Amino acid sequence: MNDADISVDMPENPEPNVQPEDPLPVNEGVDEMPDEVEEEDAKMEMKIKEIVPDNEVFNDAMEQAPPKRKKRPISDKQREHLAKIRVKALEAKKAKKANKPQVKSAKKVYEQQIEEEYDEPQGNILNMPTPDKDSSLVHLTQEQLRQLQFEAIYGYDTMRKERKADKRKKQAQEQHEQQTYQAVHRAVNRQVDDDGWGVCFQ
């Protein structure tokens, strides 16, 4: 088959390319402001509202408030009944107070004991021994006082070092006991694996 054998119906004069029409016309989609003010807007007048004082507004509201309800007076019979109830309540309160044991707080008891101890005379004050005015510290020189202070500090320091050494020994012993306990515990509580190669990876 040849190109000449194929027949194609081709128009001899093709139509020019035509664009489809716009669905919205240009003037319809845009709101335009009118150039002239409408006559109705020009006729509209501004009304000025008068300001009413607050007193006039609230006076009307006060007059419309509902009246308060008056209390009903108590009759003589009710008064007598209330007096009897008060007397009974006071008698019951006194009876409860008389029957109730006196419970004191521990603080009050302690304070009373201290007051009693100090209130009691402890013997003749004149018989109490007086401190010696000729104390050995009064006659010490500055050098002797420094020497005493140095010995006291040195003694305390040596005691502190001994305590630290004892503490270190005790901690080392406890750590050794803990390690041996863990080793024995691991040996006794070893898990048994069915896998023969599991021991290699422990």
With a CB cutoff of 8 Å and minimum separation 6, the contacts of 199 are 193
Sequence-distant (≥ 6) Cβ neighbours of residue 9 within 8 angstroms: none
Q: Cα separation of 129 and 127, whole Å?
A: 6
pLDDT tens digit at each of 202 positions of the chain: 566 566 666 666 666 666 666 665 555 545 555 555 555 555 566 677 778 777 777 766 666 666 678 888 889 999 999 999 999 999 999 998 888 776 667 778 888 888 887 776 555 555 555 655 555 666 788 888 889 899 999 999 999 999 999 999 999 999 999 999 999 988 888 766 666 776 676 6
Looking up tokens 């004191």, which residue turns up? 104
H/E stretch holding 181: helix 142-188
Half-sphere exposure of 102 (CA within 13 A, CB side): 3
Which sign does the torsion angle of CA 105, 106, 112, 116 carry?
positive
DSSP annotation of 126: G
Taken as a whole, the chain contains a residue count of 202
What is the distance between the alpha carbons of residues 63 and 52, in angstroms, rounded to a whole number?
A: 18
Task: Answer whether 185's CB lies under 8 Å from 179's CB.
Answer: no
pTM equals 0.27
Is residue 182 within a helix (H) or strand (E), and if so which, with residue range?
helix 142-188
**CB-CB neighbours of 140 under 10 Å:** 13
Tell the residue number behind the tokens 């013997």, with chain if given.
Answer: 123
Classify 155 as helix, strand or coil.
Answer: helix
Q: Is the dihedral of CA 131, 136, 138, 139 positive or negative?
A: positive
- As separate numbers, helices (DSSP H) first and strands (DSSP E) second, the chain gives 5, 0
